[in-house]
Amino acid sequence: MTGCLQKGDEAGEFSIAGEDGKLWGLRSSTVKLEDHVGHKVTVAGKASGESKAEAKKEKKEGEVENAAQKEEYRDLRVTSLKMISDTCAK
């Protein structure tokens, strides 16, 4: 998956928007993702867990959602990263 690497909501978590517009949560114990925040990168790894959309369906009715925040699609355990550019196209 190729896109702009961004810092995530939690410590040690990062995100990337795929070409399909879906936002993936990224984590890695082997790749230093923090070194590439703001860079255009290609990452590879293994998707883990259920999709965030599936998890959302299981939430209790009446729970408040932050609609302004872009929803993560799935989590990806990154095993490799290739930097494409040190900047992201706006």
Cβ atoms of 40 and 81 within 8 Å: the answer is no
Question: Within 10 Å of residue 72's Cβ, how many Cβ atoms?
Answer: 20
The pair of structure tokens assigned to 18 is 């795929």
- Kindly report the pTM of this predicted structure: 0.71
pLDDT at 22: 84
Q: What is the CATH number of domain 2-57+69-85?
A: 2.40.50
Q: What is the pLDDT of residues 25-71, one digit of tens each?
A: 999 999 999 999 999 999 999 987 655 555 554 444 334 444 334 56
**How many Å apart are CA 35 and CA 69, to the nearest integer?**
24
pLDDT at 84: 94
Mean pLDDT over 75-83 rounds to: 95
Range scoring the smallest mean pLDDT among 21-25, 62-66, 69-73, 74-78:
62-66
Q: Tell me, what amino acid is at 61?
A: E
Question: Kind of pairing, strands 40-48 and 23-27?
Answer: unpaired
